[in-house]
Amino acid sequence: MKRKALSIVVIGLMAAFLCGVFPFSSFAVEGWLQVEDGQWVYLNAADQPVTDSWKESKGFWYRLDSAGYITKDTLINVGSSYYYLDPDGRMAAEAWAYLTADQIPDGDSDSEGWYYFGADGRAYTNKSGARKQIDGQTYIFDADGKLLTGWIASDGTAVEETEDPFINATHFAGEDGALYVSKWLAYSDVMTNVTGSTAHSDVADRDYTEYDELWFYFDETGKKVVARTGGTSLKQKEIDGATYGFDENGVMLPWWSAVDSVAYPDGERADMTSNVSAKYYSGYDGGVLLKNTWFFMYPSENLSGEDFEDMEASWWYADGSGKVVRDRIRMINGRRYVFDGIGRMKVGFCLVDGRANYVANYDVDMLSHTDFIEGDIGGIEHADLYLFSPDELNDGSMQVGSDILVSLADGYYYFGFGADGKAYGNKNNNLTYTPAKKNGKYYYNGLRLDADSELGYGVVKAERDGQDYYQVVDIDGKIITGEKKLVADKQGGYFIVLKDRFVAYVNDPYPPKWVKNGVSGEGYYHYDKSNKDDHYADGIIAGYADATDLSGLPSEACINF
């Protein structure tokens, strides 16, 4: 109805009143009045229609337009707020409304969607707070009040559906508009047309194309869990009793955490070491950070490019904080193990400077027994030598004991290691490079100094009181002692032992004899059975006062010299 027509009706009504047509008093009455076409107006005390105002009726509010009529089925802007009047003209309050472009003045297809109006009828908008709680769910509305879905930025605006909208997003709302709160999101569930992301994570130092799936987690406030921007550390989050790691874009890491650097220390055979301990978030277990457990895995390219390319797996141990144990010997479940500078468990012969500076390792079949005798093991001059079980898959623990049989490159040999795991006779422990005497046997760099099995006996060079000291040992490394003793080898020769020390070797047809009153004094003499006149004509070999004579000793009898 046009304003002119409304005025005619009002004048007509007033005339009717004055002529006594209506049973009213002679005074004007303010209130609602239904006019032609069933529309309603609100007359003020002067019997004039009220315009551009709110009026209440039976608990509902109505908006009167500039002509005085009730506004219906449209979104209106009053001041800085939006309101919706339903098809009956009632103001929506604590209610949802789906509005099309036709119901929104100057609206277009982008404005079509769901809106929510609070108890005062005002639409929830970004202006009145980005996040709103409605019936236990959290929602975000744009500046005009439209409910947002999908990826949402920190300022409460929708993120354009670019290739990687999650990079600029802080929140995610499902198709019903409810924010993901304390909830996981798989990227493929919401981006079915995208097989993956071509972006790169600086924190994880990986391309997302290497991920089977991109997972995100939104915390109790509805925010995506992310690492600090510009940093290199993952953001860790405890979720349902497990720990997870997230990068700078909020992507859960299903793999190794990155390290800043990996370096090779100076020194022969020195192995690589990382500046920090890596962590392993097991993709096989849903990305859970492994703690207090062993795991068998190949390293990331960031840790070891060679092992990564070859997919060379090793055993690792994660401590209570999830950091892999590295660069040390560590007691685990009652046994000791050694880990290199990036955290791989090592087996075989290992060199460690102290307990917390791993140097190098050698597979047992890389070395011959002469390498130990000659000290030809790179790095041994500044590290302690240990043996860890070569059975990497089933053991790998530190070995201790005096008679440990090891298969070297040139055969089986026995080794000895103390209760602390250090090799007996390690060069690093005794810079005079003398063998260590343990339980009646000699060891040098862990190797038990045994006689050649084909000879039966041999001689070990040791040291006593700063002087060279030689002793005879058998094929089991046992030291031959005695005040005066003659030891026959398997090739017809004789080792002469006086006061526990080796003094001479002879290869006579007959065993030497001890003579108390010989022409050259008391001692061992050559014995010639065929010389009837003088069995000792060839003279004395060694007496108590004589120095050790090495001249006749076969080379195979010289064990460590």
DSSP codes, 463-523: EETTEEEEEEEETT-BEE--SEEEEE-TTS-EEEEETTEEEEEE--SS--EEETT-TT-SE
Least confident residue range of 54-63, 104-113, 454-463, 486-495: 104-113
Residue with the bigger pLDDT between 78 and 130: it is 78
pLDDT value of position 272: 85
Choose among 318, 320, 257, 254: nearest CA to 282. 254
Inter-residue long-range contacts of 108-114, CB under 8 Å, 24+ positions, other chains counted: 111/144, 111/146, 113/146, 113/147, 114/146, 114/147, 114/177
pLDDT tens-digit readout, 459-489: 999 988 888 999 999 999 999 999 999 999 9
One-letter identity of residue 462 = A
Enter the DSSP assignment of 244. E
Classified as helix, coil or strand, 374 is coil
Least confident residue range of 91-95, 336-340, 424-428, 443-447: 424-428
First to last CA, the chain: 123
pLDDT value of position 28: 60
Residue carrying structure tokens 């070999």: 541
Conformational region of residue 439, where left means phi above 0, alpha means psi within -120 to 50, and beta covers everything else: left
pTM over 0.85: no
pLDDT value of position 381: 81
* Residue 146 buriedness (CB in 10 A; 0-12 / 13-18 / 19+): buried
Q: Are 544 and 538 in contact (CB under 8 A)?
A: no
Q: Is the model's pLDDT at 431 over the cut of 70?
A: no
pLDDT value of position 72: 95
- List the alpha helices (DSSP H) in 335-438: 369-373
pLDDT tens-digit readout, 228-252: 876 678 999 999 999 999 999 999 9
pLDDT tens-digit readout, 146-205: 999 999 998 889 998 878 899 999 999 999 999 999 999 999 888 755 556 889 999 998
Distances (CA, A) of 345 to 318, 396, 423: 11, 8, 19
Query: Which tokens hold the place of 526?
Result: 């050559």
Choose among 190, 98, 79: nearest CA to 146. 98
pLDDT value of position 12: 40
Mean pLDDT over the full length of the chain: 89
With bands split at pLDDT 50, 70 and 90, how would you rate the model's confidence at 36?
Answer: confident
Phi, psi of 336 (to 5 degrees): -100, 140
Q: Is the model's pLDDT at 264 over the cut of 90?
A: no
Average pLDDT for 83-91: 96
Phi, psi of 446 (to 5 degrees): 85, -25
